[in-house]
Amino acid sequence: MSENCLTLLAVSDLHHMGLARQTAQAQQMRGELAQTLLKKVFLRLRHMGITPDATLVLGDLVEDGADRNAALDFVSLHGELTRSGIPSLVVPGNHDGDPAAFNTLFGSAPGLHKIGGYGFVLFNDTYSENHECVRAAEDLALLKKCAEENPELPLIAVQHPPIYPAIDSHYPYRPTNAAEIIDAYQKSGVILSLSGHFHKGQKARIHERILYHTVPALCEQPFRFSLIRLVDSRVEIEELCLGLQAPNLIDVHCHTEHAYCGTTVDTAPCVALSQALGVSTLCITEHAFQLYFDKARAMNFRWQSDPAMVKAVWETPGRGRMAAYQQFAEKLRSPFVKIGLELDLFDDGRLLLAPEDAEHDWDIFIGAVHAVQGFVPGQTTQQEAERLFLRDVERLVEHDIDVLAHPFRFFKRNRLEVPEHLFATVAGLLADSGVAAEVNFHTYQPEPAFIRLCVEKGVKIALASDTHDLAEAGEFWPHVNILRQAGITPKMFPDTLFTF
C-alpha cells in the first residue's frame, strides 16, 4: 500500500515595503528586502536540490495593507510565487488589509484545499483595533464539515496567529478562543497546525496528538523559513535560514548595473543584502572589457585580437565607461565594500587594462578566462582547447591578479569535458604565483577535487557570489557545502579562505 508524501515550504511575515510608503519598522525588520528574500528562498532550495510540492505563506505579506500601493506590492510577491513554478496557498495576516481582495489575488479562499492526498484548511482570522483575534464560530463549523465530508484526508490547519503553545507577552498573539480552536482541531483529526505572526517562531511541539509549529519571520535575521515533510500522518520539520552560518566570509566577486551580462543586479540592494546576511566584506568587481567597449563589441570578443580597437578606446577621455565606473565605485568604497575589476587577456597575453587604470587604487583584481584566442567553438579539439586554456592561465597568473575566476568554467560553457588531469597543474600554477582559486556557482558547478588539490598545495580559496541576479547576493550555502565535500570544514576557514 502506497504512502502519501508531500514536501512543503512554509514562509511567514515578510512585511514587504516596495511601492507602498516607507513606514517606520522596528530596526530588526527588513521589509525593504522582503521580495528578494523570498526569491532567495527558492534559490536556496534549488541549490539544495529540493522542489517543494507547495508553498505556504502564513500572513503579513506587506507592512501596511491599507496603503494605496499595497495592492501592487502584493502583485510583486505574487509574481515571485508564480516564477517559482510551485503551487502556493496564502493566508492574510493582520497587516494585509482586506481579506477578500487578498484572496482574489492569491486564489487561496478560506476553507479546504486538497494537495497530494492532504487537506489544507485555510483560515482568515480577523483582528480588532486592539490587535485581538477571535476565530469565528462559522470557521470552526467549517472545519468540522471538512473533516466529516473528507474522512480519508489528513488535515492541516493553516492560519496567521499561533494556536499553541501560550506566549508570554502583553501583545495578544494568540486568538482569545485558542482553547476552543485546539478542541476543534482534536475533534476534527487535524495532524498539523501551521502559523506565523510571532516573529521569533515556536519550535514544533506535539499537544494531544497534533503537531503545532509557528514559522519565524522571514523579514528578520537570520531570515528563517521551514521545510516540512509529510509521510501519511508523520510530520518532520526542518528550520532553515538565509543568513550565513559561518563568520568572516568575503565575497570577492559581485557585479553592478554596469554589467551587460547582469540581469537584476543592483548595487545598493546587493550591499544591503550582503551585509544583512552576514557577509564580512563585499568586493564590487566589474568586467573591464564591458566597461571599455559598447555591448556589441564587448560581447563578440574581437577586441582580444585587435590592438587598434583597444587603443582607440583607451585614447578617448572616459575610456568607454571606465572613468564613470571608477567614480561610481569610489562612492561605494567603505570598510565593508572593496572595489576592483574582473580582467581578461588581449593581444598576446597582456591584461586588458589601460595604463592609467592600472594606476588607480583598486583593492582587488580577478583574472578570468571567458574567451580564448585561437579557440573556435565546434572546431577546436578537446586537446587543443586544453592547451590554449592552460596557455592563458599561465599568462594570467604572471600578472598582478589576486584571484582566478571560475577556473574551469570555460570548458562547460563550450560543451567540452572538464580536464581533471589539469587540476594539479592549475593548482600548482596558482600556488607558485600566490593567486587564489575562486569557488563560484554562477551558471557553474565547481569541482571538489580541484578545491581539495588547491588546499593541499597551499592555494587560498576565494568565495564568490558572482552576482548577476540580485538573489545571488550573499548566497554562500552552496559554497560552504562544496567545501565540506572537499574536506574543508568551517573550523579550517581562517587558514584556508582568501582574505585581505
**Residue-range domains of the chain with CATH:** 5-241 (3.60.21.10), 250-496 (3.20.20.140)
pLDDT (0 to 100) of residue 1: 41
What pLDDT is attached to residue 2? 52
Distance CA 203, CA 159 (A): 16
Positions of the chain with pLDDT under 70: 1-2
Instruction: Work out the mean pLDDT of the chain and round it to a whole number.
Output: 95
Q: What was the pLDDT predicted at 342?
A: 98
Cα dihedral 323/327/329/334 (nearest 10): 150
pLDDT of residue 322: 98
Q: Which of 341, 481, 466 is nearest to 409 (CA)?
A: 466
Is residue 194 a contact partner of residue 156, using CB atoms and an 8 Å limit? yes
Instruction: Yes or no: say if 7 and 50 are a contact pair by the CB < 8 Å rule.
Output: yes
Q: What is the pLDDT of residues 318-337, one digit of tens each?
A: 999 999 999 999 999 999 99
Burial of 190 (0-12, 13-18, 19+ CB in 10 A): buried
What confidence score (pLDDT) does residue 23 get?
A: 74
Amino acid in position 2: S
348-391 confidence digits (pLDDT tens)? 899 999 999 999 999 999 999 999 999 999 999 999 999 999 99
At residue 146, the pLDDT reads 95
User: For position 4, what pLDDT does the model report?
Assistant: 83
The DSSP symbol for 4 reads P
Give residues with Cβ within 8 angstroms of 66, minimum separation 6: 97
